[in-house]
Amino acid sequence: MSFKFRNQTPPVDPQDLVKDAAKLLPDRSRRRFLGQITSLGALAALTGCDIVNGTSAEDALRLISDWNDWVQARLFYPGKLALTYPDSAITDPFPFNAFYPPDQAPKVNGERWQLYVEGAVQDRRHWTLADLIRLPQETQVTQHICIEGWSAIGKWTGVPMHIFLQRIGADTRRKYVNFICADRYETSLDMATALHPQTQMTLRFGGEALPRPYGFPMKVRVPTKLGFKNPKHVVQISITDDFVEGFWERRGYNWFAGL
Supply the DSSP string of 44-67, one letter for each residue.
Answer: HHHHS----SHHHHHHHHHHHHHH
Helix (H) or strand (E) holding 145: strand 138-145
Q: Where are the domains of the chain?
A: 14-75, 87-251
pTM of the prediction? 0.75
Helix-strand-coil split of the chain, %, nearest 5:
30, 20, 45
Tell whether the torsion through CA atoms of 117, 97, 213 and 78 is positive or negative: positive
Which CATH superfamily, name and number, covers 87-251? Oxidoreductase, molybdopterin-binding domain (3.90.420.10)
pLDDT digits 0-9 by tens, 66-94? 545 555 555 555 678 999 999 999 999 99
What interhelical angle do 14-22 and 28-35 show, nearest 10?
A: 170
Name the least confident of 41-50, 161-170, 241-250. 41-50
pLDDT digits 0-9 by tens, 95-132? 999 999 999 999 999 999 999 999 999 999 999 999 99
The answer on pLDDT for 217 being more than 90 is yes
Give the span between the Cα atoms of 101 and 213, in whole angstroms.
Answer: 9
Higher pLDDT among residues 59 and 108, named by residue: 108
